[in-house]
């Protein structure tokens, strides 16, 4: 048997996990689901879910991965027995579905990145003025409409999948660890700079109050939609519920303090999402868009092109911004394809490059309809995070919380020491409250999806 790969450096694991977590979920998805959820009310529920559900759940995936040193299917088979390998199969399917549309969206970022080389965003927007006037819609929205489907979208989806497959085919050490060290600091610096700039906009105040001061009435009235949407976003953004963190922890040779790593990963991810909101909502309100929920999948593109069109040196900033996000998306996409690939390598004995190419090719094809009509984006995205992610997380929590709790606590204590009552507290947290929230979210999510 071939020696299983491990991370090349001590920080390899944490970098790759942050690289997986930080992606389109923070910068593309977070602002528009927050808008759809009514702003601050959504933000509050989302933050609560990240801390109270996301944190215990990320530890669950870590211990399962490090304990078994297997891909999700093999890991669950080893821990739970035969029937559990079907749960692992759910993870694999989820990865297929998410990556298929993720790649299309990432392709849009590459497209917008390239626009930065072709001159100012103001001049690009001017090119859409006629259609916009006719349709009575903002030029930035028209531009997004034109670029998000059709030949452009198809081409950049193709390019992005080729890149993703290439990195995964090269393997863990050479491929995944590199990109992250540059990307995460770059995103933070850019977003902080843009948040400071957004602060100076005329209607920034309205944006902040929409984003930051929750009306509790909104939560009470809309809980049936808020709950599954916030849970879905929390899991999506932390790369939970589909075995990424299991797979990445499976390459851990050493006993790291997993709770510390969990806090670091969640801290970066949540901070970056939060910062994105501080940029997007002031821009929206200052551009006269007072119903940010209507922006949908185009929200970030529409608000950012508007922003880059109005500030000096905007095309350089835009180029930097869209480019960095594209790289962030790549490190997340890599993690998605890695799960699927690791499964085929471990369980079917296929060579790495063949596994990456085969699985990546099928995923690529699944994404092609999205480049044709964004209706498929809603369908795939809604099904993946409203249903599949929650279902996967739920079943995993049952396994670890109720069937193998002792093993789980032992594994968590490696690298930390005796946890005493905290170990039991963690197990009870996932056994009851986490489980309940997941069950309710899944039920509401399914109802919502079927409608």
CA pseudo-torsion sign 163, 188, 101, 172: positive
- The least distance separating ligand PHE from the CB of residue 286, rounded to whole angstroms, comes to 26
- Pick from 154, 169, 133: nearest CA to 355: 169
25 touching Na ion, by CB under 5 A: yes
* Residue placing its CB nearer to ligand PHE in the complex, 333 or 434: 333
98 touching ligand PHE, by CB under 6 A: yes
Decide which of ligand PHE, Na ion, none touches 40; Cβ closer than 5 to 8 Å per partner kind. Answer: none
* Residue placing its CB nearer to Na ion in the complex, 73 or 99: 99
Residue 81 CB neighbour total at 10 angstroms:
11
- The least distance separating Na ion from the CB of residue 238, rounded to whole angstroms, comes to 6
Decide which of Na ion, ligand PHE, none touches 16; Cβ closer than 5 to 8 Å per partner kind. Answer: none
- Cα separation, 152 vs 154, whole angstroms: 5
- Cα separation, 410 vs 421, whole angstroms: 13
Write phi, then psi, for 322 (nearest 5 degrees).
-65, -35
- Cα separation, 268 vs 271, whole angstroms: 5
Torsion region of 217: left, alpha or beta (phi above 0 gives left; psi -120 to 50 gives alpha): alpha
- Pick from 395, 390, 347, 421: nearest CA to 68: 347
244 touching ligand PHE, by CB under 6 A: yes
* Residue placing its CB nearer to ligand PHE in the complex, 191 or 204: 191
Letters for 284-323 (x = contact with ligand PHE by CB under 6 A, - = none) are ----------------------------------------
Q: Among 68, 237, 305, 331, which residue interacts with ligand PHE (rule: CB under 6 A)?
A: 237
Look up residue 202 and give its DSSP letter. T
* Residue placing its CB nearer to Na ion in the complex, 198 or 266: 266
Residue 139 CB neighbour total at 10 angstroms:
23
DSSP output for 55-67: HHHHHHHHHHHHH
Stretch that binds ligand PHE, among 4-12, 51-59, 237-245, 434-442 (CB under 6 A): 237-245
Look up residue 238 and give its DSSP letter. T
Letters for 218-257 (x = contact with Na ion by CB under 5 A, - = none) are -------------------x--------------------
Residues in CB range of 307: below 8 A, 6 or more apart: 194, 197, 198, 279, 283, 314
247 touching ligand PHE, by CB under 6 A: no
Supply 69's token pair. 């040193």
- The least distance separating Na ion from the CB of residue 174, rounded to whole angstroms, comes to 24
25 touching ligand PHE, by CB under 6 A: yes
Write phi, then psi, for 249 (nearest 5 degrees).
-70, -20
Look up residue 214 and give its DSSP letter. -
* Residue placing its CB nearer to ligand PHE in the complex, 242 or 355: 242
- The least distance separating ligand PHE from the CB of residue 328, rounded to whole angstroms, comes to 7
21 touching Na ion, by CB under 5 A: yes
Letters for 324-343 (x = contact with ligand PHE by CB under 6 A, - = none) are --------x--xx-------
- The least distance separating ligand PHE from the CB of residue 109, rounded to whole angstroms, comes to 12
CB 57 within 8 A of CB 240: yes
Q: Which of residues 156-215 bind ligand PHE (CB under 6 A)?
A: none
Residues in contact with ligand PHE by the rule CB under 6 A: 20-21, 23-26, 98, 236-237, 239, 242, 244, 332, 335-336
């Amino acid at each position: 048997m071939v020696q299983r790969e491990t991370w090349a450096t001590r920080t390899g694991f944490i970098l790759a996990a942050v690289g997986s977590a930080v992606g389109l979920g923070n910068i593309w998805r977070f602002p528009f689901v927050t808008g759809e959820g009514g702003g601050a009310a959504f933000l509050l529920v989302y933050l609560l879910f990240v801390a109270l559900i996301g944190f215990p759940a990320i530890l669950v995936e870590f211990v399962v991965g490090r304990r078994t040193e297997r891909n999700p299917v093999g890991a669950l088979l080893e821990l739970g027995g035969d029937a559990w390998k079907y749960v692992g199969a759910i993870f694999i399917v989820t990865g297929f579905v998410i990556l298929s549309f993720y790649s299309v969206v990432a392709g849009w970022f590459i497209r917008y990145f390239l626009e930065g080389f072709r001159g100012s965003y103001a001049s690009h927007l001017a090119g859409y003025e006629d259609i916009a006037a006719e349709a009575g819609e903002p030029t930035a929205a028209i531009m997004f409409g034109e670029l998000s489907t059709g030949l452009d979208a198809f081409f950049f989806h193709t390019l992005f999948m080729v890149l993703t497959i290439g990195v995964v085919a090269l393997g863990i050490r050479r491929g995944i660890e590199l990109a992250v060290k540059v990307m995460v600091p770059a995103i933070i610096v850019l977003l902080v700079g843009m948040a400071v700039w957004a602060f100076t906009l005329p209607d920034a105040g309205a944006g902040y109050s929409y984003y930051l001061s929750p009306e509790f009435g909104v939560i009470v009235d809309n809980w049936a939609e808020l709950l599954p949407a916030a849970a879905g976003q929390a899991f999506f953004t932390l790369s939970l519920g589909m075995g990424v963190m299991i797979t990445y922890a499976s390459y851990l040779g050493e006993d790291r303090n997993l709770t510390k790593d969990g806090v670091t990963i969640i801290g970066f991810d949540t901070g970056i999402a939060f910062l994105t909101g501080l940029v997007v909502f002031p821009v929206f309100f200052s551009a006269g868009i007072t119903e940010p929920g209507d922006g949908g999948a185009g929200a970030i593109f529409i608000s950012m092109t508007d922003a880059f069109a109005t500030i000096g040196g905007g095309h350089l900033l835009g180029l930097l911004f869209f480019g960095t996000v594209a790289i962030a998306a790549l490190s997340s996409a890599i993690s998605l394809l890695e799960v699927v690939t690791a499964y085929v390598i471990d369980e079917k004995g296929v060579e790495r490059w063949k596994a990456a190419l085969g699985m990546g090719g099928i995923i690529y094809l699944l994404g092609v309809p999205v480049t044709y009509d964004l209706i498929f984006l809603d369908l795939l995205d809604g099904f993946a995070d409203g249903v599949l992610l929650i279902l996967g997380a739920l079943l995993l929590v049952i396994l670890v919380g109720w069937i193998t709790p002792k093993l789980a606590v032992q594994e968590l204590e490696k690298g930390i020491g005796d946890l005493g009552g905290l170990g039991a507290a963690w197990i009870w947290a996932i056994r009851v409250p986490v489980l309940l929230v997941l069950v309710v979210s899944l039920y509401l999510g399914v109802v919502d999806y079927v409608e």
